[in-house]
C-alpha cells in the first residue's frame, strides 16, 4: 500500500508508470473490442463473487455494517450492474445512424460511442466497494482503462479491493492504487482522459481544478442537504417507516439519505410518534446492540456528529458511545434554519425536524440553499407534488419513499450544482464513460457549386431559400 502521509518517490513513480503504461495499452486498441470488454466484466463478476466473504468482513471491520446491508447496498447492486452491462453492451456500443441535414446531402450520418482512454475513479468510504466498483463497471463497458483510488477511511475495504482486483487484472488495464490525500493529489497531477470522483463538495472543487489543468472531463458525485417534505395528506405510518429506513440505514452515512424533514405543523407530533415506533421496530430500543445498525466510520466523524446534537432539541435517541463510534438514531424537534445542524450535510443518524405553516415560504428557503442531491415528497396531492418538483432543482428524488431510486438503473444517478455534475448507472454510466463521436460519410457523386466563391447575391438567395 502506498503511504498515506507522505508520498514516497517510489509511489510517485508507480503512479506515473501506471498511467503511462495504461496509455500505451489503450493505444493498442485492445479495450475497444466488445468481446474483450465482456470478458473483463465477467472476470470482475467472478472475482467479486469468489471473494464475497472477504469483502463482507472488510466492510464489517471498517464500520460494523451487516452482511445484509452490504449485500443490498453494495454487492447486489454491483452484480446487477455487471450483468446488465454484459447483456446490453452490443446494443449500447453500436454506432447509431441518424439523419443528415440539407447541406450534407447526399450523405450518411452516424453517432459512434468511443472510449475516452485512461480513467481515474476516486471513491469514498460510506459504500466503499460499490462506489469504487460501480463506476468501474461503466468504464470497462465503455472500453477504457481504469485506475481506482478507494477511500483510505474504509481502509479494510480498500485493502481487499486492491488485493483481489490487482491479482485478477493486468495493471495496464485496471489497477487499484491505495492511499490517502497525498496519493489522490499525485494522481490528480497526471493527465487522465476522464475523472470520476465521489465524495464531498470541497474536495470536488479540488478535483475539478486539477482536472482543468489538463482540460480533463470530470464527473462529480457529491452530497448536500436532501430535504424530505411531509405534507398533511401523507400516509404518516408509511412515511415514517420509509424515512426511518432511508435515514438510518448505514448509520445515516448515505449520500441520498433524507437529511432533514420539512413537515406541516398540524401533523408533526403524530409523525414523530410514528417515527419513534418505526425506529424501535427496526433497530430495537437499544440500537447499539442491533446487528443491523451501522456505526460511524471514525472518531473524527463521531466527534463532528456529536457536536450537531443539540441536547435541548432531542426528542428521541441522542445516546453516543465514543468507544465504538456509536450514535443512536436521533430525532431533533423545534429545529430552525439557523441551527448548527442545518448548516452542513449531516451524514449521520441525526434527523432534524422543521415544521412549517406556509409551503411558499418553505420552498423559498430550500431554493435559497445549494441544490440538493435528492429530494423526497410525502403527499397524495398531485398539485403540491408537481409544484415542489417544478420549483426546486435537485439531482433526483422520490414521491412517497426514500433512497431506493438509486437502485433503478433506468434512472440516471447524479447531482446538480453543488451536489454534483454528470451521472451514471446502467446505460447512463456507459454514456458517461464514452465520447459520442460524429461521423458523416459523403458521396463523391455530387458537389453543390454554391458553397464555393465567388459568393454572389443570387447564391445567397438560394442558400437562404434552402436553409430557412
Ligand atoms: P473521503 O474523505 O473518503 O474523500 C473522498 C475521496 O477523496 C477519497 O478517496 C480521498 O482520499 C479523496 N480526497 C480527500 N481529500 C482530498 C484532497 N484534498 N485532494 C484530493 N483527494 C482528496 O469522503 P468524504 O468527502 O468524507 O465523503 C462524504 C461525502 O461524499 C458526503 O458529502 C456524501 O454526501 C458524498 N457522497 C456522495 C455520493 C454520491 O454518489 N453522490 C456517494 C457517497 C458519498
Quickly list DSSP for 271-298.
HHHHHHHHHHHHH-S-GGG-TTSPPPS-
Q: How far is CA 91 from CA 80, 84, 140, 426, 431, in A?
A: 17, 11, 15, 12, 12
Q: Are 296 and 251 in contact (CB under 8 A)?
A: yes
Kindly report, residue by residue over 358-373, the tens digit of the pLDDT.
Answer: 999 999 999 999 999 9
Q: Is the pLDDT of residue 468 over 90?
A: no
Q: What percent of the chain has pLDDT over 70?
A: 99
**Which of 123, 182, 199 to mutate to test ligand 1, by most ligand atoms within 8 A of the CB atom?**
199
**In this structure, what DSSP letter does residue 438 have?**
E
Mean pLDDT, residues 270-280 taken together:
98
Query: Which residues, 6+ apart, have CB-to-CB distance to 242 below 8 Å?
Result: 378, 400, 401, 402
| Gap from CA of 449 to ligand 1 centroid (Å) | 58
pLDDT, residue 446, reads 87
pLDDT band of residue 2 (cuts 50, 70, 90) is: very low
Residues having CB closer than 6 A to ligand 1 are 122-126, 131, 149, 151-153, 180-181, 184-185, 198-200, 203, 206, 221-223, 255, 345, 347, 373, 415, 420
Which one of the listed residues 171, 186, 221, 345 is annotated catalytic? 221
**Which of 203, 207, 246, 394 to mutate to test ligand 1, by most ligand atoms within 8 A of the CB atom?**
203
Q: What percent of the chain has pLDDT over 90?
A: 94
pLDDT, residue 3, reads 42
Q: How far is CA 388 from CA 70, 377, 385, 437, in A?
A: 33, 8, 5, 37
pLDDT, residue 5, reads 57
Name the residue at shortest CA distance from atom 39 of ligand 1.
221
Residue 216 annotated among the catalytic residues of the structure: no
Kindly report, residue by residue over 63-75, the tens digit of the pLDDT.
Answer: 899 999 999 999 9
Weakest mean pLDDT among 47-56, 77-86, 285-294: 285-294
| Gap from CA of 465 to ligand 1 centroid (Å) | 55
Q: Is the pLDDT of residue 1 over 90?
A: no
Phi/psi-derived region of residue 64, left when phi > 0, alpha when psi is between -120 and 50, beta in every other case: left
pLDDT band of residue 467 (cuts 50, 70, 90) is: confident
Residue 291 annotated among the catalytic residues of the structure: no
pLDDT, residue 466, reads 87
| Gap from CA of 205 to ligand 1 centroid (Å) | 11
CA gap 375, 234 in Å, rounded: 16
Q: Are 400 and 235 in contact (CB under 8 A)?
A: yes
Better-predicted residue by pLDDT, 5 or 417: 417
Buried b (16+ CB within 10 A) or exposed e, 97-123: eeebeeeeeeeeeeeebebbbbbbbbb
Kindly report, residue by residue over 297-338, the tens digit of the pLDDT.
Answer: 999 999 999 999 999 999 999 999 999 999 999 999 999 999
pTM summary value: 0.96
Q: Is the pLDDT of residue 427 over 80?
A: yes
Name the residue at shortest CA distance from atom 22 of ligand 1.
181
| Gap from CA of 123 to ligand 1 centroid (Å) | 7
61 alpha-carbon distance from chain centroid: 23
CA gap 273, 459 in Å, rounded: 78
Kindly report, residue by residue over 71-130, the tens digit of the pLDDT.
Answer: 999 999 999 999 999 999 999 999 999 999 988 989 999 999 999 999 999 999 999 999
Amino acid at each position: 500500500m502506498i503511504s498515506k502521509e507522505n508520498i514516497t518517490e517510489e509511489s510517485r513513480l508507480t503512479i506515473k508508470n501506471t498511467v503511462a503504461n495504461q496509455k500505451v495499452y489503450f493505444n493498442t486498441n485492445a479495450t475497444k473490442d466488445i468481446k474483450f470488454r465482456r470478458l473483463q466484466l465477467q472476470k470482475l463478476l467472478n472475482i467479486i463473487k469468489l471473494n464475497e466473504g472477504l469483502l463482507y468482513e472488510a466492510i464489517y471491520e471498517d464500520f460494523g455494517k451487516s452482511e445484509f446491508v452490504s449485500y443490498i447496498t453494495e454487492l447486489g447492486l454491483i452484480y446487477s450492474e455487471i450483468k446488465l452491462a454484459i447483456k446490453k453492451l452490443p446494443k449500447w456500443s453500436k454506432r447509431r445512424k441518424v439523419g443528415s441535414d440539407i447541406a450534407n446531402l447526399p450523405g450518411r450520418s452516424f453517432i459512434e460511442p468511443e472510449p475516452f482512454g485512461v480513467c481515474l475513479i476516486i471513491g469514498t468510504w460510506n459504500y466503499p466497494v460499490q462506489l469504487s466498483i460501480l463506476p468501474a463497471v461503466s468504464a470497462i463497458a465503455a472500453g477504457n482503462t481504469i485506475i481506482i483510488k478507494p477511500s483510505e477511511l474504509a481502509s479494510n475495504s480498500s485493502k481487499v479491493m486492491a488485493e483481489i482486483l490487482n491479482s485478477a487484472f493486468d495493471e495496464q488495464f485496471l489497477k487499484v492504487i491505495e492511499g490517502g490525500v497525498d496519493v489522490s493529489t499525485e494522481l490528480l497531477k497526471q493527465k487522465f482522459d476522464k475523472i470520476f470522483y465521489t465524495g464531498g463538495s470541497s474536495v470536488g472543487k479540488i478535483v475539478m481544478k486539477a482536472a482543468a489543468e489538463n482540460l480533463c472531463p470530470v464527473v462529480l458525485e457529491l452530497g448536500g442537504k436532501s430535504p424530505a417534505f411531509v405534507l398533511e395528506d401523507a400516509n404518516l405510518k408509511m412515511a415514517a417507516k420509509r424515512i426511518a429506513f432511508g435515514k438510518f440505514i448505514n448509520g445515516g452515512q448515505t449520500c441520498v439519505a433524507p437529511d432533514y424533514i420539512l413537515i406541516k405543523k398540524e401533523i408533526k407530533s403524530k409523525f414523530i410518534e410514528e417515527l419513534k415506533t418505526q425506529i424501535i421496530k427496526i433497530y430495537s430500543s437499544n440500537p447499539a446492540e442491533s446487528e443491523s445498525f451501522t456505526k460511524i466510520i471514525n472518531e473524527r466523524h463521531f466527534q463532528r456528529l456529536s457536536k450537531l446534537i443539540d441536547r435541548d432539541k432531542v426528542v428521541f435517541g441522542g445516546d453516543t458511545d465514543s468507544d465504538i463510534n456509536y450514535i443512536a438514531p436521533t430525532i431533533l424537534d423545534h429545529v430552525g434554519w439557523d441551527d448548527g445542524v442545518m448548516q452542513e450535510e449531516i451524514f449521520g443518524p441525526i434527523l432534524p425536524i422543521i415544521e412549517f405553516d406556509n409551503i411558499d415560504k418553505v420552498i423559498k428557503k430550500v431554493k435559497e440553499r445549494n441544490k440538493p442531491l435528492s429530494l423526497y415528497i410525502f403527499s397524495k396531492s398531485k398539485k403540491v407534488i408537481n409544484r415542489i418538483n417544478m420549483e426546486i432543482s435537485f439531482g433526483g428524488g422520490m414521491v412517497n419513499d426514500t433512497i431506493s431510486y438509486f437502485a433503478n438503473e433506468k434512472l440516471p444517478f447524479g447531482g446538480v450544482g453543488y451536489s454534483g455534475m454528470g451521472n451514471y448507472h446502467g446505460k447512463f454510466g456507459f454514456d458517461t464513460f464514452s465520447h459520442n463521436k460524429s461521423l458523416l460519410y459523403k458521396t463523391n457523386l455530387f458537389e453543390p457549386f454554391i458553397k464555393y466563391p465567388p459568393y454572389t447575391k443570387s447564391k445567397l438567395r438560394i442558400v437562404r431559400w434552402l436553409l430557412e
